[in-house]
Amino acid sequence: MSSGLHPPRTNAGGLDFSSREFPMTAEDFRFIQRLARERTGIELGEHKREMIYSRIVRRIRTLDLMTFRDYCQYLQQNTDSELTPFINAITTNLTAFFREPHHFDFLSRTALPEIRRRNAASHRIRIWSAGCSTGEEPYSIAITLQRSLGSEPWDARILATDLDTNVLDHGRAGIYGGDRMADLDKDILNQYFTLTKGKNRHDDRYQVKDALRELIRFNQLNLLEQWPMRGPFDVIFCRNVVIYFSKETQRTLFDRYADILAPNGYLCIGHSESLHGVSKRFEAVGRTLYRRIQ
């Protein structure tokens, strides 16, 4: 598999990273920008230079290379094996349980009761967490779903996808430190997690119980490539993902979301994101909450 890109050959100026322990030229950064854009849709602006430097340096050390040019050449020559570690390095994974709680309130009070009425014959519910990171979002969805359904025999499933294989492994394991659980209600902790005590609260470990984990399937997925699932989904969470995409890529992605959502299905996006001027296939039904209308 070849990216069709060529690693930098000249030591172009314009960046002040050439005197660091692992020199990075302007052309090195442009190569990384192009590869990220073409393979993931992620737009790495100039303000991301420091972040990219600090993250790629870890790969350079691991591979025992000397410069960013060396790494770009290595990536060009070993795309099949290095592309996944490269993607893992450049992606940002900031998340928390019940982050942006109004989405889960809407899911509990409005979306799920409506879906249960609409799907009364099939008893089927499908929800997709696109960009699931380390799993806090899909587990929050699963808790909301279980609390809504109670003991009713519904065929309910959650698909959790991400580019980063490391965070997917974390999500599958379902083990979180005590500092990540500090804001959760004790009832939720007792019902859905098993506690392993450490020397202090920060050393505590919480394991998601099997009944919750069984609702979720964690899979690696590049949102820009072909999707293996058919849907339809009743709800899609895609929060704080498209902020890294160009407007053109956003339009394409939201059009695909509309295609795979059930009629009147819901889309939840991030607090700094909007469909205004991007898609006419949804109507706003709340803060960063949308319903498919066409």
Check if 210 is active-site: no
- Lookup: tokens for 283: 């109507």
- Lookup: tokens for 110: 């409005």
From residue 137, alpha-carbon distances to 1, 95, 103, 158, 240 in Å are 33, 7, 11, 11, 12
Q: What is the 3-state secondary structure (H, E, C) of 195-221?
A: EECCCCHHHCEEEECHHHHCCEEEEEC
Closest by Cα among 90, 129, 125 to 111:
125
Q: Per the residue annotation, which of 28, 162, 164, 234 is the catalytic one? A: 162
Q: What distance in Å separates the CA atoms of residue 151 and residue 142, rounded to the nearest whole number?
A: 14
Check if 291 is active-site: no
Q: What distance in Å separates the CA atoms of residue 167 and residue 172, rounded to the nearest whole number?
A: 9
Q: Per the residue annotation, which of 30, 34, 37, 55 is the catalytic one? A: 55
Which residues form the catalytic set? 55, 162
